[in-house]
Amino acid sequence: MAAEREPPPLGDGKPTDFEDLEDGEDLFTSTVSTLESSPSSPEPASLPAEDISANSNGPKPTEVVLDDDREDLFAEATEEVSLDSPEREPILSSEPSPAVTPVTPTTLIAPRIESKSMSAPVIFDRSREEIEEEANGDIFDIEIGVSDPEKVGDGMNAYMAYRVTTKTSLSMFSKSEFSVKRRFSDFLGLHSKLASKYLHVGYIVPPAPEKSIVGMTKVKVGKEDSSSTEFVEKRRAALERYLQRTVKHPTLLQDPDLRQFLESSELPRAVNTQALSGAGILRMVNKAADAVNKMTIKMNESDAWFEEKQQQFENLDQQLRELHVSVEALVCHRKELSANTAAFAKSAAMLGNSEDHTALSRALSQLAEVEEKIDQLHQEQAFADFYMFSELLSDYIRLIAAVKGVFDHRMKCWQKWEDAQITLLKKREAEAKMMVANKPDKIQQAKNEIREWEAKVQQGERDFEQISKTIRKEVGRFEKERVKDFKTVIIKYLESLVQTQQQLIKYWEAFLPEAKAIA
Amino acid sequence: MMEGLDDGPDFLSEEDRGLKAINVNLQSDAALQVDISDALSERDKVKFTVHTKSSLPNFKQNEFSVVRQHEEFIWLHDSFVENEDYAGYIIPPAPPRPDFDASREKLQKLGEGEGSMTKEEFTKMKQELEAEYLAIFKKTVAMHEVFLCRVAAHPILRRDLNFHVFLEYNQDLSVRGKNKKEKLEDFFKNMVKSADGVIVSGVKDVDDFFEHERTFLLEYHNRVKDASAKSDRMTRSHKSAADDYNRIGSSLYALGTQDSTDICKFFLKVSELFDKTRKIEARVSADEDLKLSDLLKYYLRESQAAKDLLYRRSRSLVDYENANKALDKARAKNKDVLQAETSQQLCCQKFEKISESAKQELIDFKTRRVAAFRKNLVELAELELKHAKGNLQLLQNCLAVLNGDT
């Protein structure tokens, strides 16, 4: 019965399908308690933190006793799988359910990834939380690469096509490895679709890389110089990071538009992304209107959490921008250093040539060679500076803008609710007036309107609660991702610095005996 | 401003202080030992305390000190250049003028911008600029010292009277800097000299040794000039990059102290790393500057002095040949023969004297040069290695801590 794999009930991917959370929530609570009683991971501390905190409105199981009775746990789990528990729908698990296979404790110690998926609560309902749970478990099982930029077409209609390769073991995809060709406007189109669906309900949708008219024009015109290759590489890397961030988001991963983007060989051209199109202009107008509105909305913030968070993000934004400026300066200076070192190397070689003392001449030539190698080193380091450190910072500056956008949506939502309340009040007043004036037909109309607006007020309140809840969760997830991202990238960057120093040591060690040999 | 040559922040260690080390074969014997024991930086001039230890009978005491300024060094150098007797020697190049303008400007700007930055940033930058100032200061002291040591080591020049006066006379030498008229005169003199130099260099030399030296020096001088300029630019870029590390460290620190997540410890550690690694990078840049840029700059000046020697020799050769021609003419006309003869003899003597000493000087120059390059290149490589290893250690330690935490 149980372990049947059904496609997620995400017909048209409208988030409203997930709206009725009541059951899901409870369900999650109970699954959590199941987890507590039947832990299935050999790594107690990390497990709950990883899986549960993503859904922060669930209770946080702090202590999970795991050491004893592993075998029993599995026995229990196996039992649960076979049970057709009344409150739960048939069990669905992402992989061949580990609960079904007879497991010994040793297998539990196996790779973390495995344990993660094993730890995913075995019993779920197809609610949003559980899908996220599942996705969390599979989060390492989708890999996106953007590669092979190819110029298609000629002249001003030319564009760059990128190969998007997906490697995954997620069963929502028909194949485990596939690739498609996409152009930049396709990426923008994807983002615009996701943004229109998820932003206004509080999801932090990762922003797409920015357009660059200058850069693209150079490429179109066919300038085959280093700056256009650099531009293409920068864009390719940015697109890759964009997709990787998007698929990491459990809800967005489920979106059919995303899947279509990754999978289908043909994609309808997204014309609305062009800056000067009708849609583009509409976007600009809307942006301006939003900015004005933001200034006029005076929200009664009842929840200090939101105010605090907004302030924090403001601060973070400022600091990241400052850091970004410094890192960009470093990139620039390192490139300069590389160029100057190369020039010096040539000059030293010339000097070595004209030196008439043989040993010194040789040593100077060697010095020139060392400096040439060092200039290469500096260039590589400058790339690392840029692609790892600098781009990380600019990505996050844009992400924080998206976060701020989400907070703004919440404000708008509140405004809508507030407006509905005011209108309701007006309608009630109108009704009262009608009562006094004694106009029976108008009274009926008034009553209808009141009912209508009462419903709207209720909806507004619900929407507001919903978006607030979503934002809390999203911010929690975002912060976790941010911490992980920064740590990973910065450590990688430091490792690149380590490599540079190691190379430097090698080069100078080779040169030293040459210098000493001058007699 | 900064006063006194304090060994406080030891930006330049003892080993580096001695630019005199650029010229290795300095017979610093008991007969005459000169050094600059102290220096004071005032408003717009630097006062050097020149300290002499000598067993020569020429001096009243065995050990004494005087205070000299840059202009007096230049006066001494020029007196050598203008002295006909020294035409056959490579005159040690004059030390460059102490130039604190850039550094002073930066310190001033820092003072003005004090309000716009945090206290930590301000202290950091102030320390940085003070260290820079100190470094320039130490360099200018070293360069003046090298000049004096070269003179003291030269068998002929060390006996020069002006030199003794310079060392001993404890009053102001009243050597004023050249006024505008004199500077203009100098300018024209130089122009004439270089034009003359071109003409004179057109004369092919019979002597192979000198012919070779001339070709060599010409090319060498130009290439050293180029290498020196490029090396300068390289070290400056290096320093800029090191300065960026400083700012990055500060920004990371700000992030670390204000972040709400558990990443703040991480940021603080990385900030610390950048601060430390920056010090090393600054040191690398300073050492490259000292061992490479300064070396090249010095040999730029020395090779110019050697070229000047060759020019003087060529000039005297031309004079000699002209005197010969004049003598022939006089003999033909049988007029003023004696005068022509004496003139010719003088020229001949002068030329031969110059040639003889020039040969030795040029050979010494080569020896000195090779030794100096060897010493500095070895030291450069050793320092680069030391710093790279230090840097590596820092980075690896930091990574170990960061990886351990996560």
Q: What is the dihedral of CA A287, A289, A294, A299, to 10 degrees?
A: -130
CB-CB contact of B141 with B39 (8 Å):
yes
Contact B266 A343 (CB under 8 A): no
β-strand pairing of B32-41 with B46-54: antiparallel
B363 touches chain A (CB under 8 A): no
How many residues make up chain A in this entry? 519
Cβ neighbours of B370 in A, within 8 Å = 357, 359-360, 518
Min Cα separation B131/chain A (Å)? 22
- pLDDT recorded at residue A360: 92
DSSP alpha helix (H) spans, A357-439: 358-384, 391-437
Q: Which residue has the tokens 């014309």?
A: A271
B125 touches chain A (CB under 8 A): no
Cβ neighbours of A355 in B, within 8 Å = 220
Q: Which residues, other chains included, contact A170 with Cβ-Cβ below 8 Å and sequence gap of 6+? A: A94, A138, A141, A142
- pLDDT recorded at residue A107: 37
- pLDDT recorded at residue A430: 84
- pLDDT recorded at residue B125: 80
Average of per-residue pLDDT across A168-193 = 87
Average of per-residue pLDDT across A212-216 = 75
Of these ranges, A29-43, A297-311, A333-347, B8-22, the one predicted with the greatest mean pLDDT is: A333-347
Cβ neighbours of B220 in A, within 8 Å = 351, 354-355
Strand spans (E) along A12-121: none
Min Cα separation A348/chain B (Å)? 6
Residue among B241, B273, B402 whose CB faces A337 most closely? B241
- pLDDT recorded at residue B225: 94
pLDDT tier for residue A149 given thresholds of 50, 70 and 90: confident
Contact B255 A319 (CB under 8 A): yes
The DSSP letter of residue B204 is P
Contact A363 B377 (CB under 8 A): yes
All structural domains of chain A, each given as residue ranges with its CATH number in brackets, are 138-276 (3.30.1520.10)
Q: Which residue has the tokens 């009683």?
A: A37
Q: Which residue has the tokens 């060897």?
A: B374
DSSP alpha helix (H) spans, B42-100: 70-82
Q: Say which range, A29-33, A426-430, B65-69, has the weakest mean pLDDT.
A: A29-33
Cβ neighbours of A360 in B, within 8 Å = 369-370, 373-374
ipTM of the complex in this document: 0.84
Q: Say which range, A100-109, A366-375, B29-38, has the weakest mean pLDDT.
A: A100-109
Phi first, then psi, for residue A439 (nearest 5°) are -120, 95
- pLDDT recorded at residue A222: 66
- pLDDT recorded at residue A22: 40
Of these ranges, A92-96, A167-171, B13-17, B292-296, the one predicted with the greatest mean pLDDT is: B292-296
CB-CB contact of A385 with A331 (8 Å):
yes
Contact B251 A356 (CB under 8 A): no
pLDDT tens for chain B, residues 1 to 406 = 333 333 333 333 444 444 444 444 444 566 788 989 888 888 778 899 999 988 888 888 889 899 999 999 999 999 999 888 898 899 999 999 888 888 878 888 888 877 777 787 788 788 888 888 888 888 889 899 999 999 998 989 988 999 999 998 887 777 666 677 777 887 887 777 777 777 666 666 677 888 888 889 999 999 999 999 999 999 999 999 998 998 899 889 888 888 777 788 889 999 999 999 998 998 899 899 989 999 999 999 999 999 999 988 888 888 888 888 888 888 888 888 888 888 889 889 989 999 999 999 999 999 999 999 999 999 999 999 999 999 999 999 999 998 886 5
* Stretch 210-229 of chain B: residues touching chain A, C-beta under 8 Å: 216, 219-220, 223-224, 226-227
* Stretch 129-148 of chain B: residues touching chain A, C-beta under 8 Å: none
Residue among B255, B395, B406 whose CB faces A501 most closely? B395
| pLDDT digit string, tens, across residues A46-79 | 333 333 333 334 343 333 343 444 444 344 434 3
All structural domains of chain B, each given as residue ranges with its CATH number in brackets, are 21-171 (3.30.1520.10), 217-405 (1.20.1270.60)
The DSSP letter of residue B114 is G
DSSP alpha helix (H) spans, B154-207: 161-168, 180-201
Which of A314, A370, A372, A501 to mutate to test binding with chain B, by most B CBs within 10 Å of its CB?
Answer: A501
Average of per-residue pLDDT across A269-294 = 69
Which residue in B20, B60, B275 sits closest to B145, CA to CA? B20
Strand order of the β-sheet with B32-41 is B32-41, B46-54, B63-69
Which of A355, A482, A485, A502 to mutate to test binding with chain B, by most B CBs within 10 Å of its CB?
Answer: A355
- pLDDT recorded at residue A33: 39
- pLDDT recorded at residue B48: 92
In sign, the C-alpha dihedral spanning B197, B203, B204, B207 is negative
- pLDDT recorded at residue A348: 94
Does residue A122 carry a pLDDT above 90? Answer: no
CA atoms within 13 A on the CB side of A351: 30
Contact A512 B395 (CB under 8 A): no
Cβ neighbours of A498 in B, within 8 Å = 392, 395-396, 399
Q: How far is CA A19 from the centre of its chain?
A: 23
B270 touches chain A (CB under 8 A): yes
Residue among A356, A367, A504 whose CB faces B388 most closely? A504
Q: What is the dihedral of CA A252, A256, A262, A268, to 10 degrees?
A: -120
Average of per-residue pLDDT across A126-155 = 66
> Percentage of residues in chain A with pLDDT exceeding 90?
29
Comparing alpha-carbon positions, the chain B residue that sits nearest to A339 is B234
CB–CB contacts below 8 A, A to B: 158
